[in-house]
């Protein structure tokens, strides 16, 4: 479960991501610099399976992973690969339009349903939706912001959170960085399962990640715990590389599966 929003800025963007998880999950590790095919990236690490739900590479490409709920479940005995490992495998892409090209080379039947955002400074946001049966690519997903997912239904927290964002936008008459931060720490309609900063008996928002892509640098700020608690944040910075200076990493060897655009 996650909520993701972003704001376009001169030469880059700012992105925020709340991660909601059950209390039974192991704590994640904070962001660190890693490499894949000689491409540097910053990402926190999931405590249960490795991989990550968010990462940004030296080209300023950010990937965010949201679980999809309500799609048909696979066979009860089927064993799945962690979706977070798919995200880190893709963090050597130099531009966001290459992400769906790479995704189709994976055996997607081995992953539970997911939505993956690919965001860069010079291309429209791309959203890749794997339903468990079909892979559907939205090549311009700017209007989908904010993205949100939840295991609850009737009504879904996603509807409440989007309505809250729209109300904030109408009142401010613009979207700015301050609005995004207020949105991700908010308790509307109250502190509970429907608020963006989520609190349930069995789950809660466990971190707030912020990515800022600037002209010559990339900053990742990670706040563990619920955003309303305002714990001390971790900060990691890397230099930004222009995509034409390096090429994307090699695709992983696997049977291709086409995505629908």
**Within 2-132, where are the H helices?**
83-89, 98-103
Q: Is the pTM of this model over 0.85?
A: yes
Residue 250 lies in a domain: no
- Identify the band that residue 157 occupies on the pLDDT scale cut at 50, 70 and 90: confident
Quick: pLDDT tens for 45-61: 998 878 999 999 999 99
C-alpha count within 13 angstroms, C-beta hemisphere, residue 74: 15
Q: How many domains does the chain have?
A: 1
Residue 256 lies in a domain: no
Residue 206 lies in a domain: yes
C-alpha count within 13 angstroms, C-beta hemisphere, residue 124: 12
- Identify the band that residue 258 occupies on the pLDDT scale cut at 50, 70 and 90: very low
Length of the chain: 261
Residue 85 and residue 50 in contact, taking contact as beta carbons nearer than 8 Å: yes
Match 């239904």 to its residue by tokens.
153
The whole-chain average pLDDT of the chain stands at 89
Residue 255 lies in a domain: no
Domain containing residue 177: CATH number: 3.60.60.10
Residue 32 lies in a domain: yes
- Which burial class, exposed, middle or buried, applies to 75 when counting CB atoms under 10 A from its CB (0-12, 13-18, 19+)? exposed
The encoded tokens of residue 182 equal 């207020």
Residue 44 lies in a domain: yes
Full domain range(s) for residue 12: 2-244
Rounded Cα gap, residues 197 and 208, in angstroms: 9
Residue 259 lies in a domain: no
């Amino acid at each position: 479960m996650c909520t993701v929003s972003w704001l376009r800025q001169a030469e880059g963007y700012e992105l925020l991501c709340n991660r909601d998880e059950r209390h039974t999950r192991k704590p994640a590790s904070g962001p660190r610099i890693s490499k894949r095919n000689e491409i540097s990236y910053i990402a926190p690490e999931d405590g249960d399976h490795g991989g990550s739900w968010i990462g940004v590479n030296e080209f300023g490409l950010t990937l965010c992973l949201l679980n999809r709920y309500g799609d048909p479940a696979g066979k009860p005995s089927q064993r799945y690969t962690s979706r977070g490992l798919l995200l880190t495998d893709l963090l050597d892409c130099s531009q966001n339009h290459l992400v769906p090209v790479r995704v189709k080379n994976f055996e997607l039947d081995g992953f539970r349903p997911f939505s993956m955002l690919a965001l860069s400074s010079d291309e429209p946001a791309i959203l890749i939706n794997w339903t468990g049966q079909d892979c559907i690519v939205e090549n311009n997903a700017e209007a989908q912001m904010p993205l949100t997912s939840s295991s609850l239904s009737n009504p879904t927290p996603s509807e409440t959170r989007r309505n809250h964002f729209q109300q904030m936008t109408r009142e401010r008459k613009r979207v700015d960085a301050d609005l995004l931060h207020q949105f991700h720490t908010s308790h509307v309609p109250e502190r509970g399962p429907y608020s963006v900063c989520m609190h349930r008996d069995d789950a809660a928002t466990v971190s707030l990640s912020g990515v800022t892509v600037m002209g010559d640098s990339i900053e990742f700020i990670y706040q563990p715990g619920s955003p309303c608690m305002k714990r001390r944040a971790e900060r990691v910075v890397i230099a930004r590389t222009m995509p034409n200076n390096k090429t994307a990493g090699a695709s992983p060897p696997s049977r291709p599966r086409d995505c629908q655009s």
